[in-house]
Amino acid sequence: MHTKLPYAPLFTLLLLLLFLCPEKVLADDFQITDEIVTAYYGPGGDITLPSNAFKVGTTAFLNNTEITSVTIPEGYHTIAEGAFDGCSNLKSVSLPDTLETIEKFAFARCASLESCYLPRHVSSIGNGAFRECHALTFLEIPEITDFIGEGCFCYCDSLDRFSVVSGNTSFCERDGALFTADMKMLIQYPCGSRAESYTVPAGVETICRNAFTHARSLREVRLADTVRELKSFAFSSCPSLIEIELPASLEHVSEYAFKNVSNLCRVYIKNNAMEIDPAAFIGAPSVVLYGEHGSEAESYARKQNIMFSAAEDNETVYPRTETIF
């Protein structure tokens, strides 16, 4: 007769936990889970990540204001979402040649980051990955990069031009701005440029989300007559922008396209059937739309209580009330 071991169920449970639960290891000041750096508990300053991991985990260093430089050793292939988001005193980053993916907001709000060399194997840079890196002065897109997310470089106030490695078949640079290789999409204008006017090249069809956000020096933008769409926030927070002509080719102006363009006075609309989102001009209290009687622009101005001037007689109608915004 065999006696049942009273601890058998407990032993089975422990085995299940051992195999099902991720392994957590503390290496000096770092927490590593399944070979992913998931947290940091050190004093900051200049840090080097441990070599026994291959990924910087999601929000692993979120809002750490003590780190001043980071060295990531060879073997790492991914910097996950928000990994260094809000590391406001981070000035320099050394990335490994093995790095392939920088996920969204990975270095967002790293206000002190001055430069970041992207290794040659980086193929994907996520949405807002370098958003609000106010001190960033230089960044070059590697040859094999084939994805750059929306608003990736917006609010980079010191970045005055982009550079793309020769041979990249997805993106190109022209006059400092970043485009898709076919020149059909303007991805990002360098908002650190001191130019007061800019002409969008012929052939461009789409002005991407946040493309001109916070371009502080721009007073005037001339759109090519091939542009068909302005995406959301395309010209948001451009404090010096005074006027812009929207060409006959333009079919749609998305929400918040001109949000908080506080000094925008004159918008000339050439397409009588253009669709404009109701929130396109939120925070632009002085704007006057110029178009033709009976146009969609006139109807839009009436509905949104925005000032409208008929092109043929220069008559201004539908004045904005004080309480519209």
* 251 domain-assigned: yes
Domain co-membership, 309 together with 195:
yes
Domain co-membership, 155 together with 213:
no
pLDDT band at residue 19 under the 50/70/90 scheme: very low
pLDDT band at residue 324 under the 50/70/90 scheme: very low
Domain co-membership, 230 together with 189:
yes
Could you tell me which residues are beta bridge partners of residue 244? 221, 267
pLDDT band at residue 5 under the 50/70/90 scheme: very low
Based on the number of CB atoms within 10 Å of its own CB, is 4 exposed (0-12), middle (13-18) or buried (19 or more)?
exposed
Identify the DSSP state of 218: -
pLDDT of 68 reads 98
Average pLDDT, the chain: 91
Residue 23 has pLDDT above 80, yes or no: no
CA pair distance 170, 182, nearest whole angstrom: 8
Domain co-membership, 47 together with 148:
yes
* 185 domain-assigned: yes
Residue 322 has pLDDT above 70, yes or no: no
CA pair distance 20, 23, nearest whole angstrom: 9
* 1 domain-assigned: no
Domain co-membership, 161 together with 33:
yes
* 5 domain-assigned: no
Domain co-membership, 185 together with 263:
yes
Q: Convert the pLDDT of each residue in 141-185 to its tens digit.
A: 999 999 999 999 999 999 999 999 999 999 999 999 999 999 999
* 11 domain-assigned: no
Q: Convert the pLDDT of each residue in 116-147 to its tens digit.
A: 999 999 999 999 999 999 999 989 999 999 99
pTM, rounded to two decimals: 0.86
* 10 domain-assigned: no
Number of domains in the chain: 2
User: Contact, 56 vs 78, CB < 8 A?
Assistant: yes
Q: Convert the pLDDT of each residue in 59-77 to its tens digit.
A: 999 999 999 999 999 999 9
Q: Give the domain-ending residue among 100, 135, 169.
A: 169
Q: Which residue, 124, 129, 128, 58, is CA-closest to 93?
A: 129
* 19 domain-assigned: no
Q: Which domain holds residue 78?
A: 27-169
Q: Convert the pLDDT of each residue in 186-226 to its tens digit.
A: 999 999 999 999 999 999 999 999 999 999 999 999 999 99
The pair of three-digit structure tokens given for residue 204, joined into one six-digit string: 């461009």
pLDDT of 28 reads 77
DSSP string spanning 78-120? EE-TTTTTT-TT--EEE--TT--EE-TTTTTT-TT--EEPPPT
User: Contact, 165 vs 142, CB < 8 A?
Assistant: yes
CATH number, domain with residue 268: 3.80.10.10
pLDDT band at residue 319 under the 50/70/90 scheme: low
Could you tell me which residues are beta bridge partners of residue 307? 288
CA pair distance 6, 303, nearest whole angstrom: 77
Domain co-membership, 158 together with 33:
yes
Q: Give the domain-ending residue among 137, 169, 201.
A: 169
pLDDT band at residue 112 under the 50/70/90 scheme: very high
Q: Which residue, 101, 117, 86, is CA-closest to 55?
A: 101
Domain co-membership, 144 together with 256:
no
CA pair distance 253, 140, nearest whole angstrom: 30
Q: Give the domain-ending residue among 169, 197, 228.
A: 169
